[in-house]
């Protein structure tokens, strides 16, 4: 069985234009190779779901699903080369996810958007990933 962990992350400091915007961010890790981050901004009815698949010190495939009112869902995919910044793989994924969220909110609102990813959020992402048991090398047979 592959280990799974789900955790709500501490609040991100999100400002759209001159206004604070509440958002919620959650992380799920599946084994040692998959990280899923979901952030919802209720006041704008916007959700971003990002999935990262890759080895810690190698390339990572990323899919971002953008959900916003009066727009069709959008998928953006790309490859992140090599290890990512951050204290861990999950920390690097969190930083990439929030950068994507910032780009999405700027495009939707045409305003300056800042996101403060606090050390506590990166540490929580690290803990969730570190407590997820690694995927087995080979599937179990019955």
Residue-level pLDDT at 5: 73
* Residue ranges per structural domain of the chain: 4-130
Q: What proportion of the chain, given as a percentage, has pLDDT over 70?
A: 85
Residue-level pLDDT at 3: 59
Distance CA(29)–CA(127), nearest Å, equals 10
Q: Answer for the pair 21, 120: CB distance below 8 angstroms, yes or no.
A: no
Residue-level pLDDT at 126: 82
pLDDT tens profile 39-60: 999 999 999 999 999 877 788 9
Residue-level pLDDT at 141: 38
Residue-level pLDDT at 88: 79
Burial-class residue 125 by CB neighbours within 10 Å (0-12, 13-18, 19+). Answer: buried
Residues in the chain with pLDDT values less than 70: 1-4, 84-87, 130-142
Strand, helix or coil at 91? helix
Burial-class residue 124 by CB neighbours within 10 Å (0-12, 13-18, 19+). Answer: buried
Distance CA(27)–CA(29), nearest Å, equals 7
Residue-level pLDDT at 84: 66
Residue-level pLDDT at 140: 43
Residue-level pLDDT at 131: 60
């Amino acid at each position: 069985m592959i280990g799974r962990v789900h955790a709500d992350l501490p609040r991100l400091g999100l400002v759209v234009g001159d206004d604070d915007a509440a958002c919620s961010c959650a992380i799920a890790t599946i084994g040692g190779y998959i990280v899923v981050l979901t952030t919802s901004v209720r006041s704008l009815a916007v959700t971003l779901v990002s999935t990262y698949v890759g080895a810690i010190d190698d390339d990572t495939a990323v899919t971002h699903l953008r959900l916003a009112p009066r727009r069709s869902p959008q998928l953006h995919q790309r490859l992140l080369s090599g290890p990512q910044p951050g204290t861990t793989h999950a920390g690097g994924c969190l930083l990439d996810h929030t950068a994507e969220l910032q780009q999405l909110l700027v495009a939707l609102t045409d305003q300056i958007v800042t996101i403060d990813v606090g050390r506590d959020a990166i540490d929580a992402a690290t803990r969730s990933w570190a407590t997820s048991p690694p995927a087995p090398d080979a599937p179990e047979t019955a």
